[in-house]
Amino acid sequence: MADFVPGLELARSFYAEVVAPIVAGRPHAAGLLGYGSDVLGYDTERSTDHGWGPRLQVILADDHASDDIDALRLALHERLPARHRGWPVRFGWDDVPDQHHVAVVTTAAFYERWLGFDPRRGLDVFDWITTPEQHLLEMTRGGVFHDDLGEVTRVRAELVHYPDDVWLWLLACQWQRLAQEEPFVGRTAEVGDDLGSRVLAARLARDVMLLCFRLERAYAPYPKWFGTAFAHLDAAPEVGPALTRALHAERADEREAALVDAYEAVARRHNALGVTEAVDPTARPFHARPFRVLDAARFADACRAGVTDPQLRELPTIGGVDQWSDNTDLRQTPAVLRRARALYGPPQG
């Protein structure tokens, strides 16, 4: 077996040494984008146990004639080596960049495949909130090795962060999710439901982690790499240990106390950003009941107050697609996600 090389490095050398000479003379972009642990930079030697090898996309301008595209595909098919740096090479005739394919695709077809729409026309707020964060990561991580078209590089720069209003609204929705379940860790334990209390603690820990991604304007990846990506956030050294204590706690009061520590730490980080009016970051009793909460709805309200877009201001705080569904098949089907816009009502204007 060949020595392990991170997929992004393997793809970059494959383009420079093998593919670039074949596609020379044709304006194009080339890179490794889309799905895969290698795109996110989290691949390891374990990743090579199935279908490993160099892969990338060659992206052409939309006005390329189909005959020219077919001619380029034929040239690649004839000239690609069987192996690159010891790893097998496989060429794909279709437009879908399957594992270690060299896919040749127009820019429009590329974005339709991965996003379900063409971001070059501009994104409205509904495009942003119905596009899973993983898809935004797939477009903004990985690497672009060549781009004399300029469009792929420009779109990557535009997708790297949510616009301010969308960001504030999604932040409000994430605080609201936290507010809805804060007191339940103690309440379930009070009636003897230890398992339910533990499950709720795990849900709340996940929501706190998502808050940290949101506060740092970072996209959260899908579950396999969620914790790995969280560990790279600035908040992780402070918030992570409190969440770990909450998940290991044997008693409900210890579980609640650890979660409160995490809530307060994130609340202080929210205030430090200065993006809303400051909100008291200390916990308090839940009405007259013996449970401590942050009352995270106060932070949701502060975020909503800062949203200026009239369409977002009218929406209930149900959040973006990642905040109301974690169904993998849904989030991997752009055509279905486009229909999800109807959940938010007819666009204004």
Greater confidence, 330 or 91? 330
Per-residue confidence (pLDDT) for residue 348, from 0 to 100: 46
Percent above pLDDT 70 for the chain? 96
Contact between residue 268 and residue 294 where contact means Cβ atoms under 8 Å apart: no
d(CA 244, CA 102): 42
Alpha carbon distance 137, 80 (integer Å): 29
Kindly give, in sequence order, each residue whose CB lies less than 8 Å from that of residue 78, ignoring residues fewer than 6 positions away. none
Alpha-carbon torsion angle 209, 212, 217, 222, nearest 10: -10
CB atoms within 10 A of CB 297: 17
Q: Over pLDDT 90: what percentage of the chain?
A: 83
Mean pLDDT of 131-156: 96
**43-52, 150-159, 164-173, 253-262: which has the minimum mean pLDDT?**
43-52
The DSSP result for 104-173, as a single string, is EEEHHHHHHHHTSS-GGG---HHHHHTS-HHHHHHHHSSEEEEESS-HHHHHHHHHSS--HHHHHHHHHH
The string of pLDDT tens digits covering residues 85-129 is: 999 998 766 555 555 588 899 999 999 989 999 999 999 999 999
- Per-residue model confidence (pLDDT) at position 22: 96
Per-residue model confidence (pLDDT) at position 332: 87
Please list, in sequence order, all residues whose beta carbon lies within 8 angstroms of the beta carbon of residue 237, skipping any fewer than 6 positions away: none
Phi first, then psi, for residue 60 (nearest 5°) are: -105, 160
d(CA 126, CA 103): 30
Whole-number CA gyration radius for the chain: 23
**SS3 of 56, please?**
strand
Q: Which pLDDT value is given to residue 95?
A: 55
Pick from 263, 254, 256: nearest CA to 295 = 263
- At 347 the pLDDT is 53
Cβ 61 vs Cβ 69: under 8 Å: no
Mean of per-residue pLDDT scores for the chain: 93
Residues 5-53: tens digit of each pLDDT: 999 999 999 999 999 999 999 999 999 999 899 999 999 999 998 878 8
Q: What is the pLDDT averaged over residues 321-335?
A: 90
Global pTM value: 0.94
pLDDT for residue 156 is more than 70: yes
Per-residue pLDDT tens over the stretch 237-295: 999 999 999 999 999 999 999 999 999 999 999 999 999 999 999 999 999 999 999 99
Lowest mean pLDDT among 75-84, 92-101, 215-224: 92-101
Closest C-alpha to 177, from 155, 135, 217, 208 = 208
Run of H or E including 292? strand 289-293
